[in-house]
Amino acid sequence: MKRALVVTLIMFAVISAAVAQRRGPGPGFGRFSDAANPPQAKTETEKKILGVLDAMVKVNEMYANVPMGDGRILRLLTESIGAKQVAEFGTSTGYSGLWFSMALEKTGGKLTTFDIDPGRIALARRHFQQAGVEQMITIVEGDAHQTIGKLKGPLDLVFIDADKEGYVDYLNKVLPLVRPGGLILAHNTNSAPDYVRAVTANPDLDTVFAGEGNTLGITLKKR
Protein backbone atom coordinates (compact mmCIF):
# COMPACT_ATOMS: atom_id res chain seq x y z
CA MET A 1 0.00 0.00 0.00
CA LYS A 2 2.76 2.40 1.10
CA ARG A 3 4.82 1.42 -1.97
CA ALA A 4 1.88 2.14 -4.31
CA LEU A 5 1.53 5.63 -2.77
CA VAL A 6 5.23 6.40 -3.30
CA VAL A 7 5.07 5.21 -6.94
CA THR A 8 1.96 7.36 -7.54
CA LEU A 9 3.66 10.43 -6.03
CA ILE A 10 6.78 9.91 -8.17
CA MET A 11 4.66 9.52 -11.32
CA PHE A 12 2.72 12.68 -10.43
CA ALA A 13 5.99 14.64 -9.99
CA VAL A 14 7.41 13.39 -13.31
CA ILE A 15 4.21 14.23 -15.23
CA SER A 16 3.97 17.70 -13.60
CA ALA A 17 7.59 18.47 -14.54
CA ALA A 18 6.98 17.39 -18.15
CA VAL A 19 3.83 19.53 -18.40
CA ALA A 20 5.63 22.57 -16.91
CA GLN A 21 8.49 22.15 -19.39
CA ARG A 22 6.08 22.03 -22.35
CA ARG A 23 4.25 25.14 -21.12
CA GLY A 24 7.48 27.14 -21.01
CA PRO A 25 8.30 29.90 -18.52
CA GLY A 26 5.62 30.93 -16.02
CA PRO A 27 3.38 34.01 -16.36
CA GLY A 28 5.95 36.28 -14.67
CA PHE A 29 8.32 35.85 -17.63
CA GLY A 30 6.49 38.49 -19.68
CA ARG A 31 7.61 41.12 -17.19
CA PHE A 32 11.08 40.89 -18.73
CA SER A 33 10.00 41.35 -22.35
CA ASP A 34 10.62 44.56 -24.38
CA ALA A 35 6.91 44.97 -25.03
CA ALA A 36 6.03 44.88 -21.32
CA ASN A 37 8.71 47.48 -20.60
CA PRO A 38 8.40 50.28 -23.17
CA PRO A 39 11.09 52.98 -23.23
CA GLN A 40 10.65 55.81 -20.73
CA ALA A 41 11.23 59.30 -22.12
CA LYS A 42 13.93 61.20 -20.24
CA THR A 43 13.57 64.47 -22.13
CA GLU A 44 10.83 66.35 -24.00
CA THR A 45 12.61 65.55 -27.29
CA GLU A 46 12.56 61.83 -26.53
CA LYS A 47 8.90 62.12 -25.55
CA LYS A 48 8.09 63.78 -28.87
CA ILE A 49 9.95 61.17 -30.93
CA LEU A 50 8.40 58.27 -28.99
CA GLY A 51 5.00 59.92 -29.49
CA VAL A 52 5.44 59.97 -33.28
CA LEU A 53 6.68 56.34 -33.29
CA ASP A 54 3.63 55.34 -31.28
CA ALA A 55 1.25 57.30 -33.51
CA MET A 56 2.80 55.80 -36.66
CA VAL A 57 2.03 52.27 -35.47
CA LYS A 58 -1.50 53.25 -34.47
CA VAL A 59 -2.19 54.81 -37.90
CA ASN A 60 -0.77 51.87 -39.81
CA GLU A 61 0.91 48.80 -38.30
CA MET A 62 2.97 48.45 -41.48
CA TYR A 63 4.81 51.66 -40.61
CA ALA A 64 6.65 49.74 -37.88
CA ASN A 65 8.99 48.24 -40.43
CA VAL A 66 11.38 47.12 -37.73
CA PRO A 67 9.79 45.76 -34.54
CA MET A 68 10.02 48.13 -31.55
CA GLY A 69 12.59 45.88 -29.86
CA ASP A 70 14.87 46.10 -32.92
CA GLY A 71 14.37 49.88 -33.06
CA ARG A 72 15.52 50.10 -29.48
CA ILE A 73 18.64 48.09 -30.31
CA LEU A 74 19.41 50.53 -33.17
CA ARG A 75 19.13 53.43 -30.75
CA LEU A 76 21.18 51.72 -28.01
CA LEU A 77 24.03 50.79 -30.32
CA THR A 78 24.12 54.20 -32.01
CA GLU A 79 24.18 56.10 -28.75
CA SER A 80 26.56 53.75 -26.94
CA ILE A 81 29.27 54.01 -29.62
CA GLY A 82 28.76 57.78 -29.75
CA ALA A 83 27.97 57.58 -33.47
CA LYS A 84 27.98 60.90 -35.29
CA GLN A 85 27.79 59.74 -38.92
CA VAL A 86 25.11 57.15 -39.63
CA ALA A 87 23.88 55.90 -43.01
CA GLU A 88 20.73 53.90 -43.67
CA PHE A 89 19.67 52.04 -46.83
CA GLY A 90 15.87 51.82 -46.83
CA THR A 91 14.20 54.86 -45.26
CA SER A 92 10.64 53.74 -45.92
CA THR A 93 8.28 55.85 -43.78
CA GLY A 94 11.01 56.80 -41.30
CA TYR A 95 10.36 54.39 -38.42
CA SER A 96 13.95 53.19 -37.97
CA GLY A 97 15.18 56.69 -38.81
CA LEU A 98 13.30 58.01 -35.78
CA TRP A 99 14.98 55.44 -33.51
CA PHE A 100 18.34 56.62 -34.87
CA SER A 101 17.36 60.25 -34.34
CA MET A 102 16.75 59.59 -30.64
CA ALA A 103 20.41 58.56 -30.31
CA LEU A 104 21.79 61.22 -32.67
CA GLU A 105 20.05 63.94 -30.72
CA LYS A 106 22.33 62.97 -27.80
CA THR A 107 25.54 62.42 -29.81
CA GLY A 108 25.13 65.50 -32.00
CA GLY A 109 25.23 63.22 -35.04
CA LYS A 110 23.59 63.05 -38.47
CA LEU A 111 21.70 60.42 -40.45
CA THR A 112 21.89 60.07 -44.23
CA THR A 113 19.09 57.78 -45.37
CA PHE A 114 18.44 56.39 -48.87
CA ASP A 115 15.21 55.28 -50.56
CA ILE A 116 13.92 54.80 -54.07
CA ASP A 117 10.21 55.35 -53.37
CA PRO A 118 9.05 59.02 -53.48
CA GLY A 119 5.73 58.22 -51.71
CA ARG A 120 7.46 56.62 -48.72
CA ILE A 121 10.02 59.42 -48.65
CA ALA A 122 7.23 62.00 -48.44
CA LEU A 123 5.75 60.18 -45.45
CA ALA A 124 9.18 59.86 -43.79
CA ARG A 125 9.75 63.58 -44.27
CA ARG A 126 6.43 64.31 -42.59
CA HIS A 127 7.22 61.99 -39.65
CA PHE A 128 10.68 63.54 -39.17
CA GLN A 129 9.08 67.00 -39.15
CA GLN A 130 6.40 65.93 -36.66
CA ALA A 131 9.15 64.64 -34.35
CA GLY A 132 11.21 67.82 -34.87
CA VAL A 133 14.30 65.93 -36.03
CA GLU A 134 14.37 66.84 -39.73
CA GLN A 135 17.45 69.03 -39.31
CA MET A 136 19.62 66.03 -38.42
CA ILE A 137 18.45 63.87 -41.34
CA THR A 138 19.33 63.99 -45.05
CA ILE A 139 17.15 61.89 -47.36
CA VAL A 140 18.68 60.79 -50.65
CA GLU A 141 16.12 59.75 -53.27
CA GLY A 142 16.91 57.21 -56.00
CA ASP A 143 18.42 53.77 -56.45
CA ALA A 144 20.79 53.53 -53.51
CA HIS A 145 23.15 51.24 -55.43
CA GLN A 146 23.90 54.36 -57.52
CA THR A 147 23.34 57.20 -55.06
CA ILE A 148 25.57 55.50 -52.46
CA GLY A 149 28.39 57.20 -54.38
CA LYS A 150 27.37 60.44 -52.62
CA LEU A 151 28.33 59.02 -49.22
CA LYS A 152 31.52 60.23 -47.62
CA GLY A 153 33.35 58.47 -44.81
CA PRO A 154 34.23 57.90 -42.13
CA LEU A 155 30.94 56.38 -41.04
CA ASP A 156 30.36 55.20 -37.48
CA LEU A 157 27.34 53.03 -38.20
CA VAL A 158 25.48 51.75 -41.25
CA PHE A 159 22.04 50.12 -41.35
CA ILE A 160 21.15 48.02 -44.39
CA ASP A 161 17.39 47.52 -44.76
CA ALA A 162 16.53 47.89 -48.47
CA ASP A 163 16.40 45.29 -51.31
CA LYS A 164 17.62 42.00 -49.78
CA GLU A 165 19.39 40.79 -52.94
CA GLY A 166 21.39 44.02 -52.87
CA TYR A 167 22.79 43.60 -49.33
CA VAL A 168 26.20 42.31 -50.49
CA ASP A 169 26.58 45.20 -52.94
CA TYR A 170 25.76 47.72 -50.18
CA LEU A 171 28.24 45.96 -47.89
CA ASN A 172 31.06 46.00 -50.43
CA LYS A 173 30.48 49.65 -51.31
CA VAL A 174 30.14 50.88 -47.74
CA LEU A 175 32.82 48.82 -46.01
CA PRO A 176 35.75 51.07 -47.03
CA LEU A 177 33.83 54.07 -45.59
CA VAL A 178 33.14 52.52 -42.17
CA ARG A 179 35.71 53.47 -39.57
CA PRO A 180 37.60 50.71 -37.75
CA GLY A 181 35.50 49.94 -34.67
CA GLY A 182 32.35 50.99 -36.55
CA LEU A 183 29.21 48.88 -36.91
CA ILE A 184 27.27 47.55 -39.90
CA LEU A 185 23.75 46.45 -39.04
CA ALA A 186 21.42 44.59 -41.38
CA HIS A 187 17.75 43.76 -40.99
CA ASN A 188 15.99 40.51 -42.01
CA THR A 189 19.27 38.71 -42.62
CA ASN A 190 17.31 35.45 -42.83
CA SER A 191 16.31 36.63 -46.32
CA ALA A 192 19.88 37.55 -47.32
CA PRO A 193 22.00 34.35 -47.14
CA ASP A 194 24.81 35.73 -49.34
CA TYR A 195 25.14 38.70 -47.01
CA VAL A 196 25.29 36.40 -43.97
CA ARG A 197 28.10 34.42 -45.65
CA ALA A 198 29.96 37.63 -46.53
CA VAL A 199 29.90 39.06 -42.99
CA THR A 200 30.64 35.80 -41.22
CA ALA A 201 33.51 34.57 -43.43
CA ASN A 202 35.54 37.80 -43.43
CA PRO A 203 38.26 37.84 -40.72
CA ASP A 204 38.16 41.67 -40.68
CA LEU A 205 34.60 41.46 -39.35
CA ASP A 206 32.82 39.91 -36.39
CA THR A 207 29.07 39.34 -36.60
CA VAL A 208 26.38 38.36 -34.15
CA PHE A 209 22.64 38.04 -34.73
CA ALA A 210 20.16 39.58 -32.32
CA GLY A 211 16.72 41.17 -32.22
CA GLU A 212 13.42 39.62 -33.17
CA GLY A 213 13.98 36.14 -34.58
CA ASN A 214 17.74 36.69 -34.31
CA THR A 215 17.67 38.32 -37.75
CA LEU A 216 19.30 41.66 -36.98
CA GLY A 217 22.93 41.24 -38.04
CA ILE A 218 25.36 43.27 -35.95
CA THR A 219 28.80 43.40 -37.52
CA LEU A 220 31.90 45.00 -36.05
CA LYS A 221 34.58 46.25 -38.43
CA LYS A 222 37.60 45.22 -36.38
CA ARG A 223 40.32 47.75 -35.54
Ligand X SMILES: C[S@@+](CC[C@H](N)C(=O)[O-])C[C@H]1O[C@@H](n2cnc3c(N)ncnc32)[C@H](O)[C@@H]1O
Nearer to ligand X, 18 or 62 (CB): 62
Cα 72 from Cα 103, distance rounded (Å): 10
Q: What does DSSP say about strands 216-221 and 205-210: parallel, antiparallel, or unpaired?
A: antiparallel
Q: Indicate whether 117 belongs to the interface with ligand X (CB under 6 A).
A: yes
Q: Indicate whether 66 belongs to the interface with ligand X (CB under 6 A).
A: yes
String marking each residue 18-57 x if it binds ligand X according to CB under 6 A: ----------------------------------------
Among 75, 102, 114, 175, binds ligand X (CB under 6 A): 114
Minimum CB separation from ligand X for residue 149, in Å? 13
Minimum CB separation from ligand X for residue 82, in Å? 22
Minimum CB separation from ligand X for residue 156, in Å? 18
Q: Indicate whether 143 belongs to the interface with ligand X (CB under 6 A).
A: yes
Among 73, 90, 136, 171, binds ligand X (CB under 6 A): 90
Number of residues that bind ligand X (CB under 6 A): 18
Q: Which of 168, 201, 182 is nearest to 89 (CA)?
A: 168
Among 53, 72, 86, 161, binds ligand X (CB under 6 A): 161
Nearer to ligand X, 66 or 158 (CB): 66
Q: Indicate whether 75 belongs to the interface with ligand X (CB under 6 A).
A: no
Binding stretches for ligand X (CB under 6 A): 65-66, 90, 92, 95-96, 114-117, 120, 143-145, 161-163, 166
